[in-house]
Structure 1
């Protein structure tokens, strides 16, 4: 049996565990696809080939010795280059971080993926210091969209979206502060999970905004998303924000009926500032789920503004020494926003934090009467690389700042979201399936049901 690009992680793991496919063969197939296609996609910044082969051989040896292997045995995966990978400097998309000493230990989530049998094949391109929605990087070049390589992959986890959407790996890990899992998922036509804030450990990953940062997986099907999510759960004393809740597996729950769930469409802010393709995608999902109720999320636009304030000020505080010592080694677009953040009055930050508490209470009240909200993931399909502006509701606006217009009000209070790809022509676009805190199971069940209906699916890469 050979490992084909369209094989999902669950099928690879089943074949490896059953002896029909070796972990080494699955790994070599992924490395070959990276070699063949990444010159175009530019999704990888580091390929850890020898490490991957050693891990794969160890899995094959365990199987030959009749030892138990994990649920991701032999599955290749890659990580956004803000994850610590032992032996590599943690770039975080920057020029400055390349001067750091190599990491001594892997990030917790890498350790947990590998404990489940997955095989790390490399680190992925990203926007500088995660302050990006486009997937463009002035130091490493842009990661490209696998469906049209003249277009954006989305950011800041652009390499993650590009690598999974381009079928180089079945699973990738990324981060989401304001939308950086959901935006690349939408643009690259794949599934992405931004879990509840604190659900998955961020230990040994390079931060951006500590009070907003989440880590999570990308995949081409919901089952793979759930598999990766399940093996990465659990408390971690190395991340003070990580929950002490026990592991709450979701894979076995995916097939449960969703007929009793109360699904509503997010209105107001989420029905404005959208292109026709975003309206069509939400409409298809709503129709499939029988959702007709529209729920207005109060002050969602203000939540987005408050997220900006917290993002830019926390980010500026983190990078202040680097801004003073090496200002010319930043992407100017990133540097200038961080400098602006350093000048925001403390009183404004305090107001944003107080508003966040109020806004969280409003959403808790909404989720007392609904189980799921659906909303656009992005206002449009991917813009062209280098595109500066687009027209939203008759207003010319900057692309970079407004791609996350519908993701920021959700991550602002750490709600769990599954981004699902609606395979429109000529390009896919994502929809957010939003649940109450700690109810990733509900969001994933709804995503799985939509996938089974054929309403959402990750299309084969068209640009390769």
Structure 2
């Protein structure tokens, strides 16, 4: 199999091919770079391509395989696999843009972000940085500074956001693995709209050191991939407490709890419920069809109502506005004209929120989390649509949900935001057939620290052929 053919496979197959000397890491990375060059003028997933760094790192992987250290190198789970990261992750020598114009003036970091280092320690090869909504504030990646990211399955439609480039790069076959961030749904929304797998781990599970913050009390980092197995490989490689030096104060510093072996356990014995009420009222028919198909495949027939869900989402809105605005207040005062207009206006609104409202939102958030924890005493896994609809056209300002005309940008995260604000682990799985032409994702949700359960369910659905992440039919 050629390197270009392998690029259409998942990361696990690529690492096996490099490990077995079927293809070199250099050839595989070169195929990724060629694919990016051939397709990204239309997709606009990348903001920077690290050709020299990537080929140098791939050559080091090949040299290690051929050396006396070869046996140890062969054990690396992501050996030679090309990957890319949302451009809010630090990359040594490359200015961290966070999708903005303002950050272009800042000095490039000297070190890679913690998760970039961990993936490269597992054998992966970084090839570039990816498009996103400015400062991660949005659900569409229609970035006015670098242009919108296009959905590879229909180039006239959005890729979702704010990690739109991360979802699109995997869907386009440019790389099999990417990293993104999720504050209110920014991993799960692009996963849903681009038809790939995405994992938002429990809040605090993975270190955020070396990433540009949006809302410190809500930000998560996690992977996108073409299979549940790849998510597990990347997640296991990124786990673990931080050592000396700079670290993320929000990281839980938990010991590594591998999930890879759990994927083979299937779903037998799991108590699975389907979220109703709010989660069905705010979804178009294709989203409900996707959820129902997944529920039927899993034998899940019980409907579950999350208590306080609308209050939880309202609290998340206030916390997001307030914390996000506080971070950018100096620039809002000095150079508001350099922000994207919609981001600027929302940050300005957040800066004007009364402190009493924000304090109350945090109290509501805690109470909501306590109520949801009681639900998980009866269920192991919950299901819900990941987005209210399939991908909307680029430039569309509104869509209709259950008879209501709503703005797209804040409401594509209607179904993810109530889950993010209490830090639950979620795997978004891509369903095809619910919409005539486009994918739509389903959230598989579990209690804190039970990433093993959401990945078990994702793997079982993939084995059954219900969910999959094909490479888009680009030239």
Match of 1:254, SS?
A: helix
Counterpart mapping for 1:405-444 below 5 A: 405-424=414-433, 425-444=436-455
> Given the alignment of the two structures, is residue 112 of structure 1 paired with residue 100 of structure 2, yes or no?
no
Matches of 1:136 and 1:355, distance apart in 2: 32
The equivalent position to 1:340 in structure 2, one of 334, 346, 349, is: 349
Residue in 2 that maps onto 1:78:
84
In the superposition, the TM-score normalised over structure 1's length comes to 0.99
Aligned residues: 464
Q: CA deviation at 1:43?
A: 0.2
Counterpart mapping for 1:275-290 below 5 A: 275-290=284-299
Matches of 1:286 and 1:51, distance apart in 2: 44
Q: CA deviation at 1:66?
A: 4.0
Match of 2:236, SS?
A: helix
Q: CA deviation at 1:257?
A: 2.8
Q: Kindly indicate whether the alpha-carbon contact (under 8 Å) linking 1:192 and 1:217 is maintained by their aligned counterparts in 2.
A: yes
Matches of 2:122 and 2:231, distance apart in 1: 14
Residue in 1 that maps onto 2:48:
46
Q: CA deviation at 1:329?
A: 0.5
Matches of 2:217 and 2:406, distance apart in 1: 28
CA RMSD of aligned residues (A): 0.8
Residue in 2 that maps onto 1:304:
313
Match of 1:309, SS?
A: helix
Deviation readout 1:75-131 (Å, 9 max, x if unpaired)? 000000000000011000000001110111000000000001100000000000000
> Given the alignment of the two structures, is residue 220 of structure 1 paired with residue 264 of structure 2, yes or no?
no
Q: CA deviation at 1:19?
A: 1.3
Match of 1:255, SS?
A: helix
Matches of 1:394 and 1:8, distance apart in 2: 40
Higher mean C-alpha displacement, 186-195 vs 292-301: 292-301
Matches of 2:305 and 2:473, distance apart in 1: 37
Structure 1 unpaired stretches of 5+: none
Q: Kindly indicate whether the alpha-carbon contact (under 8 Å) linking 2:39 and 2:474 is maintained by their aligned counterparts in 1.
A: no
Matches of 2:248 and 2:471, distance apart in 1: 37
Matches of 1:351 and 1:290, distance apart in 2: 39
Residue in 2 that maps onto 1:208:
214
In the superposition, the TM-score normalised over structure 2's length comes to 0.97
Moved runs in structure 1, 4+ residues, more than 3 A? none
Residue in 1 that maps onto 2:241:
235
> Given the alignment of the two structures, is residue 101 of structure 1 paired with residue 107 of structure 2, yes or no?
yes
The equivalent position to 2:358 in structure 1, one of 349, 356, 359, is: 349
The equivalent position to 1:447 in structure 2, one of 458, 461, 466, is: 458
The equivalent position to 1:459 in structure 2, one of 453, 462, 470, is: 470
Matches of 2:209 and 2:35, distance apart in 1: 30
Residue in 2 that maps onto 1:182:
188
Residue in 2 that maps onto 1:13:
15
> Given the alignment of the two structures, is residue 328 of structure 1 paired with residue 334 of structure 2, yes or no?
no
Q: Kindly indicate whether the alpha-carbon contact (under 8 Å) linking 1:149 and 1:463 is maintained by their aligned counterparts in 2.
A: no
Structure 2 unpaired stretches of 5+: none
The equivalent position to 2:373 in structure 1, one of 331, 339, 364, is: 364
Counterpart mapping for 1:152-167 below 5 A: 152-167=158-173
Q: CA deviation at 1:459?
A: 2.6
Q: Kindly indicate whether the alpha-carbon contact (under 8 Å) linking 2:266 and 2:459 is maintained by their aligned counterparts in 1.
A: no
Residue in 1 that maps onto 2:261:
252
Q: Kindly indicate whether the alpha-carbon contact (under 8 Å) linking 1:166 and 1:460 is maintained by their aligned counterparts in 2.
A: yes
Deviation readout 1:19-50 (Å, 9 max, x if unpaired)? 11100001000000000000100000000010
Match of 1:160, SS?
A: helix
Residue in 2 that maps onto 1:396:
405
Q: Kindly indicate whether the alpha-carbon contact (under 8 Å) linking 1:72 and 1:118 is maintained by their aligned counterparts in 2.
A: yes
Matches of 1:330 and 1:245, distance apart in 2: 37
Matches of 1:79 and 1:345, distance apart in 2: 36
Matches of 1:274 and 1:48, distance apart in 2: 40
Matches of 2:9 and 2:400, distance apart in 1: 39
Q: Kindly indicate whether the alpha-carbon contact (under 8 Å) linking 1:80 and 1:160 is maintained by their aligned counterparts in 2.
A: yes
Matches of 1:394 and 1:90, distance apart in 2: 41
Q: Kindly indicate whether the alpha-carbon contact (under 8 Å) linking 2:43 and 2:149 is maintained by their aligned counterparts in 1.
A: yes
Match of 2:216, SS?
A: coil
Q: Kindly indicate whether the alpha-carbon contact (under 8 Å) linking 2:113 and 2:210 is maintained by their aligned counterparts in 1.
A: yes
Matches of 1:154 and 1:388, distance apart in 2: 13
> Given the alignment of the two structures, is residue 140 of structure 1 paired with residue 146 of structure 2, yes or no?
yes
Q: Kindly indicate whether the alpha-carbon contact (under 8 Å) linking 1:307 and 1:352 is maintained by their aligned counterparts in 2.
A: yes
Q: CA deviation at 1:463?
A: 5.0
